[in-house]
Chains A and B, each alone.
Chain A
Amino acid sequence: MLDIKNLHVAVGGKEILKGLTLSLQPGQVHAIMGPNGSGKSTLSYVLAGRAGYDITEGSITYNGEDLSALKPEERAAKGVFLAMQYPVEIPGVTTMTFLKTALNAQRRARGEPDLDAIGVLKLVRAKAKTLNVSEEMLKRPLNVGFSGGEKKRLEILQMAVFEPKLAILDETDSGLDIDALRLVAEGVNALRDPSRAMLVITHYQRLLDYIVPDRIHVLAGGRIVAEGGKELALELEAKGYEHIVKVPA
């Protein structure tokens, strides 16, 4: 489903990813772990198509297609979803209006008919309940005044509503207390599906107790420096990154 080969990415002329190779099959959940500044968010942004993240070498193939040639909105319509580390606050656009606009934009791009306001409301309400997202939150401007936990829950709600094929979760666990973490993890696990792939990015092993990955990649200095099964997370937790990561000079 996703094939990243020898990916080099520069931001503002500075090379951040330095030859990253990774492959993800439908139904799989892979985790990317790595210290701060190792390039995790850079990878997530380049997958979602953010401007200013230049691919200088290598390739990203998604379902046989060159992902880098697509606009962010085209990627979304084709099933790519990035839950952002820092969801953006947008005053003046209510959360519900945003959800409806985004969902229908994706549907339109896929040649599906629009859902009317009531249809969207029903869909969102059903999913919001299990994620403990209140009606009141849906009426507020998007992410404005939301706590860290509320923002992350709203990201997962969007994932549930949009039903992407490839979900990238960038530090969705950061800033969450244990209850919120469990709630978010349950939401994510409920979306595990043989047709869906997930890339779970995290700094801590904690999240992986709840979302058990098929494979873990350790990112440091813009490269994958270690790979393994879920036990790798425990090793990292016990010994710290320095012991496993031989950061290339």
Chain B
Amino acid sequence: MTGITALGLPEARRNEAAALFRARGVPHRRIEDWKYSDLKSALGEGGIGAAVAQWQILHQPDGVELFDLTQSNPPEWVLANFARTTANTMSAASLALSKGGVALRVPKGVCITNPLKLDFTAAGHVRALLVLEDGASLTLVEGVGPGHFRNVGFEFVLGEASVLEHVRVSPDAGEAVLVEEMSVRIGAGGQYRAHFAAFGSKLSRMEVEITLAGAGAQAHLSGVALLDGKRHSDVTTHVIHAVGNTHSTQLFKHVAGGNSRAVYQGKVTVAQGANGSDSNQSAKALLLGENAEADLKPELEIFADDVKCAHGAAVGDLDAESLFYLRARGIPEAEARGLLLHAFLEDAVAEISNTDQRELVRTELLTALKAMA
């Protein structure tokens, strides 16, 4: 076992990651991918530091295995899947600096009904790995705790015909700078379903790269952002249809009030020969004032023939006619606005399959909408 440290982790991969980060430095707005999220200026003098952030399992259902990455002698499933090469700058930083993290596994064929609840908290860098073996299924509820600057690197490995529903709620985090880089690899017939609800912070960046690696693999992404004040929220996705007969959908709805900024950058790549791929991408934003901003950038990169790809983006205001209609029927203006905003977000929320989680996100949105009215 050469290249494994006392901690048991693949040291060579960490060194590579450290070199990559050193070469690139902290991303800033002159880097195309980070144009709307100037991490360097948001962090200021302090930079990314070298602190280690925390992870916390609030509920670990029976059947889910856990390995603490600071421990020695990692099992084979960790060695096989942890820290696959990454080209992502911030993911390289978390790998180089995290020193530990958590690895989770649902073994082959095991279906877990109770959600696994995982929170990231405190400031610094942290890594996580979730492996669903063939035929396994799980609901992951990810919580985003406080922490001035946190950088999470999260890897997902979904085996054949496995099903993961991932719900991530990022509450209003005030002045925090939060970065999370996810990479998801889905085997044949596997399904990744994710919903990201964001209430923003000084800078919030959530980036997910998904590889549909086996025939019949599916990814369904949805998300809502509800931003006020000076909040920022950036969702950047890259879905790669590496093989044919794969399917992806994306539905993001953002509401930006005050001086806030909502960002969606979504790239779909259909690789050469990935015929019969099907992708649908939609991002919409409502601006509630002249100082709010939304940047929506859906993008297609197709190298195959015979594919079905649709994408669209639209930024608008709350519809004046609808507002008048509701008010003319007696609904006060603030309530009518709330109703319309909620209605605007609803179809993205409805994408959450888990009933409890769907209700939870709905309640969070209603509370935030009341506070905004």
Contacts and interface: CB of A to CB of B under 8 A. Distances in A.
Contacts of A102: 326, 329-331
A72 B324 contact: yes
Given A73-B333, A105-B332, A90 B340 contact: yes
Contact of A72 (B321, B327, B342): B327
A101 B335 contact: yes
Interface stretch (A1-9, A28-36, A47-55): A47-55
B366 to A, nearest CB: 13
A158 interface: yes
Contact of B328 (A49, A91, A92, A141): A49
Contacts of B329: 76, 98, 102, 105-106, 158, 162
A234 interface: no
A51 B347 CA distance: 29
Contact of B322 (A71, A88, A158): A88
Interface string A127-143: 00000000000000100
B343 A91 contact: yes
14 contacts: A50-B324, A51-B320, A73-B327, A76-B328, A82-B328, A88-B319, A88-B325, A92-B347, A98-B326, A98-B329, A102-B326, A102-B329, A102-B330, A105-B332
B333 A71 contact: yes
B339 interface: yes
Most buried by A among B320, B329, B336: B329
Nearest to B329: A102
Interface residues of B, number: 24
A93 interface: yes
B330 A84 contact: no
B184 to A, nearest CB: 29
A223 to B, nearest CB: 25
A90 B343 contact: yes
A47 to B, nearest CB: 10
Contact of A88 (B321, B330, B335, B339): B321
Contacts of A72: 324, 327-328
Contacts of A167: none
A87 interface: yes
B325 A87 contact: yes
Nearest to A50: B324
Given A71-B327, A105-B329, 4 more contacts: A73-B333, A76-B330, A82-B328, A88-B325
Contacts of A75: 328
A105 B319 CA distance: 21
